[in-house]
C-alpha cells in the first residue's frame, strides 16, 4: 500500500480515511482513474487549441491559429492542469495493478483507448518536430537532398512550404537525422495530403497510432502473463501519450519496430526479428543497440560456444545491415544518413548532463568552450558504450534478462548522450517495463516519466517553470520510491520474458 494511504491517528488521518473511503472511493478505483485520465487528456487537447504548437501560417479552417495572450495563457494553464490529472490517474492505476486489482488488470487496453481518444483530435503538442517531418517528406517528394539541406530550401510552389515555415529555429537549416524508412513514410503522407498542414499532421498522427499499436503488440508478447503492468509503464505512460500521440515523435515507431524485432527473436525467429530491428534503425539509429542483445539471445540459444558467439555477433548485424542497404537503395534518398547522425548533438539541451558539464568546464578553462564540451560529450558516449557492453556481457552470462539489459542500456545511452529530449527516456523504459515494471527498477523510470512530462510546455518551449515543476515531481517521487517500493523483488537473471532462449533459432 502506498505510503500516503497508511493508517494512523489524528485529524489528518481521519481526513485521509474519508477521502479513501465512502463516496470518494470510486474516484481512486480503476474506473475512476479511467474517467479522470480521459478528462485530463481532454483538458490537454482543449488547452492545446489555444497554447499548443500551432503553425506559424494560418491554415484554411482557422482552427490552429494564434490567440490573444489571455486565451493562450488560459489554454496553457488548462493543459498543465489536465496533464497533472492524467499523471495522477496513471500513478494511481499503477498502484492498483501492483495490488492485483482485477478490473485494472483486465481493462488496461480500454483505459489506453480512453486516454488516447482526446489526444487524437489535438493539434501538435509539446513539439514542432511534426512540421519538420512533413517538410522533410516534401523535400524527398520535390527532389531535394534531405541529407544535404534543411526545410528552408522549400520555396513558393513547393509542397510542404507551409510546414517548413513552422519548423523550430534550430532545425530550419539542419539536414534530416532520420533514416530512409521514416522519410518514405513522411513522403507518402505529403503525397496523399498534398502537404496541407492539417491533413498532413493527422496523417502523421495515424503513423503515431500505428507505432503505438506496435508497442502494445510487442510489450504484451514479451511480458506474457504480466502484460497489463508492462503496458501501464510503456503504453499508458503520459510521457508516451503526449509525445508520441500528441507530439507525433517518430521515436514511437522506432520503439515499436525495435521491440517487435526483439519479440520475434525470443520466439525463435531472430532473422525476421533482425529485419524489424534494421527497419527501426532506418527510422532512428539508436535502435541498433537492440542487435547486441538479439545477438546475446542467439549465442545463448546455440549453447554459448565459439560458434554460437560468432553467430550472435555476426548474424543479426548482417541481416540488419542488409535491410539498411536495401531500404536506402529502394527509398532513393542516398546514404547521406550516415553523415547526419551527429547533427542533433550540435544543439544544446539542458537535459544532457555531458553537454552541461562540458559547457561549464569549457567556460572555466577556455575562452572557447566548444572543444572542451566536445571532449566531455565524447567521453560520455564512450562511457555509454562501456555500460552497454557490460550489460550485454551480464545478459550473455545469464545474470540479467536480455530484454531488461536492452532497456537499461538504452537508458544509459540517453543519460550520457550529447543531446537529450524528455521523450528519449521512452527508448529504454518500454523495454524495462517488460521485465521489471513492478520492481524498483521500474518504479524509478515511472517517477522520471512523471517528472519529465512537465519539462516541455504545450507550445514546445522549455520554460523555467517547467523545470521547476519537473524538479518538484521528481523530488516527491523519489521520496515515494524510498518509502514505498513496489511489491515484487528486484529482477535479475532468468529466461527472456515471453519467450524461451532455447527456442531462439533462425
Nearest to 252 by CA among 226, 222, 284: 284
Say what the pLDDT of residue 498 is: 43
d(CA 186, CA 297): 33
In degrees, rounded to 5, the angle at the alpha carbon of residue 284 between the alpha carbons of residues 281 and 288 is 40
Nine-digit cell string for 212 = 503505438
pLDDT per residue, tens digit, the chain (506 aa), is 343 344 444 555 555 455 555 555 567 788 899 999 999 999 999 999 999 999 987 777 777 887 888 999 999 999 999 999 999 999 999 999 988 889 989 999 999 999 999 999 999 999 999 999 999 999 999 999 999 999 999 988 889 899 999 997 778 888 999 999 999 999 999 999 998 999 999 999 999 999 999 999 999 999 987 889 999 999 999 999 999 999 999 999 999 999 999 999 999 899 999 999 999 999 999 999 999 999 999 988 887 677 777 788 899 999 999 999 999 999 999 998 888 887 766 777 889 899 989 899 988 888 788 889 889 999 999 999 999 999 999 999 889 999 999 999 999 999 999 999 999 999 999 999 998 898 888 899 999 999 999 999 999 999 999 999 999 999 999 888 887 766 554 445 444 444 444 334 33
Cβ within 8 Å of residue 481, ≥6 positions away: 440, 443, 444, 447
DSSP string, 44-77: HHHHHHHHS---SSPPTTSSS----HHHHHHHHH
Q: How many CB atoms lie within 10 A of CB 457?
A: 19
Both ends of the chain: CA-CA distance in Å? 45
Nine-digit cell string for 105 = 488488470
97 burial via Cβ count (<10 Å: 0-12, 13-18, 19+): buried
Whether 320 and 277 have beta carbons less than 8 Å apart is answered as yes
Say what the pLDDT of residue 66 is: 79
CA dihedral 222, 225, 226, 229 (to 10 degrees): 100
Q: 461 φ, ψ to 5°?
A: -75, 165
Whether 491 and 401 have beta carbons less than 8 Å apart is answered as yes
Cβ within 8 Å of residue 105, ≥6 positions away: 97, 228, 229
d(CA 58, CA 27): 41
Say what the pLDDT of residue 137 is: 95
Lookup result for grid cell 532468468: 494
Nearest to 265 by CA among 198, 206, 311, 322: 311
Nearest to 242 by CA among 118, 348, 136: 118
Say what the pLDDT of residue 158 is: 87
Nearest to 252 by CA among 294, 210, 305: 210
Say what the pLDDT of residue 67 is: 80
Say what the pLDDT of residue 26 is: 67
Whether 44 and 79 have beta carbons less than 8 Å apart is answered as yes
Amino acid at each position: 500500500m502506498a505510503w500516503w494511504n497508511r493508517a494512523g491517528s489524528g485529524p489528518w488521518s481521519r481526513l485521509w480515511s474519508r477521502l479513501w473511503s465512502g463516496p470518494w472511493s470510486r474516484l481512486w478505483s480503476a474506473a475512476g482513474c479511467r474517467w479522470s485520465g480521459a478528462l485530463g487528456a481532454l483538458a490537454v487537447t482543449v488547452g492545446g487549441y489555444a497554447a499548443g504548437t500551432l503553425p506559424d501560417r494560418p491554415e484554411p479552417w482557422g482552427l490552429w491559429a494564434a490567440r490573444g495572450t489571455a486565451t493562450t495563457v488560459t489554454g496553457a494553464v488548462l493543459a498543465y492542469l489536465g496533464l497533472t490529472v492524467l499523471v495522477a490517474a496513471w500513478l494511481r492505476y499503477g498502484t492498483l495493478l501492483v495490488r492485483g486489482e482485477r478490473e485494472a488488470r483486465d481493462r488496461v487496453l480500454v483505459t489506453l483507448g480512453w486516454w488516447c481518444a482526446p489526444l487524437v483530435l489535438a493539434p501538435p503538442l509539446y513539439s514542432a518536430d511534426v512540421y519538420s517531418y512533413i517538410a522533410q517528406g516534401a523535400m524527398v517528394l520535390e527532389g531535394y537532398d534531405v541529407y544535404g539541406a534543411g526545410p528552408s530550401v522549400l520555396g513558393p510552389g513547393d509542397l510542404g512550404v507551409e510546414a517548413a515555415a513552422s519548423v523550430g529555429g534550430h532545425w530550419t537549416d539542419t539536414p534530416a537525422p532520420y533514416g530512409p524508412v521514416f522519410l518514405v513514410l513522411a513522403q507518402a503522407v505529403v503525397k496523399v495530403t498534398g502537404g496541407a498542414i492539417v491533413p498532413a499532421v493527422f496523417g502523421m498522427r495515424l503513423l503515431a497510432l500505428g507505432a503505438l499499436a506496435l508497442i502494445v503488440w510487442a510489450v504484451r508478447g514479451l511480458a506474457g502473463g504480466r502484460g497489463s503492468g508492462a503496458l501501464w509503464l510503456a503504453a499508458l505512460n503520459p510521457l508516451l501519450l503526449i509525445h508520441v500521440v500528441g507530439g507525433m515523435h517518430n521515436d514511437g515507431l522506432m520503439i515499436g519496430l525495435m521491440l517487435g524485432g526483439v519479440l520475434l527473436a525470443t520466439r525463435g525467429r531472430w532473422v525476421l526479428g533482425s529485419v524489424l530491428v534494421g527497419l527501426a534503425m532506418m527510422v532512428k539509429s539508436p535502435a541498433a543497440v537492440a542487435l547486441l542483445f538479439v545477438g546475446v539471445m542467439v549465442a545463448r540459444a546455440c549453447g554459448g560456444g565459439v560458434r554460437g558467439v560468432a553467430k550472435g555477433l555476426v548474424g543479426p548485424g548482417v541481416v540488419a545491415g542488409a535491410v539498411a542497404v536495401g531500404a536506402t537503395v529502394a527509398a532513393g534518398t542516398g546514404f547521406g544518413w550516415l553523415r547526419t547522425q551527429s547533427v542533433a548533438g550540435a544543439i544544446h539541451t539542458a537535459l544532457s548532463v555531458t553537454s552541461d558539464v562540458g559547457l561549464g568546464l569549457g567556460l572555466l578553462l577556455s575562452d572557447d568552450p566548444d572543444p572542451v564540451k566536445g571532449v566531455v560529450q565524447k567521453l560520455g558516449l564512450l562511457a555509454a558504450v562501456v555500460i552497454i557492453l557490460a550489460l550485454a556481457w551480464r545478459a550473455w552470462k545469464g545474470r540479467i534478462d536480455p530484454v531488461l539489459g536492452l532497456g537499461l542500456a538504452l537508458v544509459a545511452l540517453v543519460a550520457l548522450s550529447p543531446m537529450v529530449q524528455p521523450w528519449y527516456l521512452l527508448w529504454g523504459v518500454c523495454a524495462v517495463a517488460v521485465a521489471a515494471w513492478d520492481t524498483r527498477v521500474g518504479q524509478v523510470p515511472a517517477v522520471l516519466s512523471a517528472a519529465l512530462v512537465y519539462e516541455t510546455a504545450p507550445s514546445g518551449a522549455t520554460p523555467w517553470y517547467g523545470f521547476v515543476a519537473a524538479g518538484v515531481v521528481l523530488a516527491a517521487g523519489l521520496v515515494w520510491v524510498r518509502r514505498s517500493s513496489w511489491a515484487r523483488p528486484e529482477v535479475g537473471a532468468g529466461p527472456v520474458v515471453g519467450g524461451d532462449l532455447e527456442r531462439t533459432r533462425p
